Amino acid sequence: MLAVLQFIAVVSSAIFAGAAIYINVAEHPARMGCDTKTAVTVWAPSYKRAYVMQASLAVLSFISGVAIWLLSGGIMWLLAAALIGAVIPFTFIVIMPTNHKLLAPDRDLNSVETRELLVKWGNLHAVRSILSLIALVIYVALLL
């Protein structure tokens, strides 16, 4: 049972971190190379698709990590789980207000404010990438 939980924690964390980092180093910079209207128009469906996938992966990795800690007593499993789990409240509390502003139906898609919100979103999303990468490194180190 422990090995299965470790596999789930590590793989879900790795997929989350990989997707989050890809968004920060490739997808978001590419869309920011476009005019603001195009960038925000492309951002919206990308965000909606990634939301379900990344939320599920973060929850799965967090629950698995906590279960491993409960079964094995290894505090580092709890630390890694807390780091990947932290992306969930961070997203709801810190990033979601920016998301709502970007998705507002009356938003001027060509405005400077929209561009600034997209830049802010990318910076905030980088925090998710960093937290998940640190969690992944800890998880992998624990397996080695």
Whole-model pTM? Answer: 0.94
Range of the domain at 112: 2-143
Domain count for the chain: 1
| Nearest in space to 31 (alpha carbons), one of 42, 20, 44, 21 | 42
- Contact criterion met (CB below 8 Å) for 133 and 21: yes
At residue 73, the pLDDT reads 82
- Cα separation, 77 vs 68, whole angstroms: 7
Mean pLDDT by 10 residues, the chain (144 residues): 96 98 97 97 93 95 98 94 98 97 96 98 98 98 94
Residue 109: its pLDDT value, please? Answer: 96
Phi, psi torsion values for 33, nearest 5 degrees: -75, -10
Distance of alpha carbon 90 from alpha carbon 126, whole angstroms: 12
Residue 124 burial by Cβ neighbours in a 10 Å radius (0-12, 13-18, 19+) = middle
Place of tokens 């476009």: 34
The structure tokens listed for 65 are: 């990590």
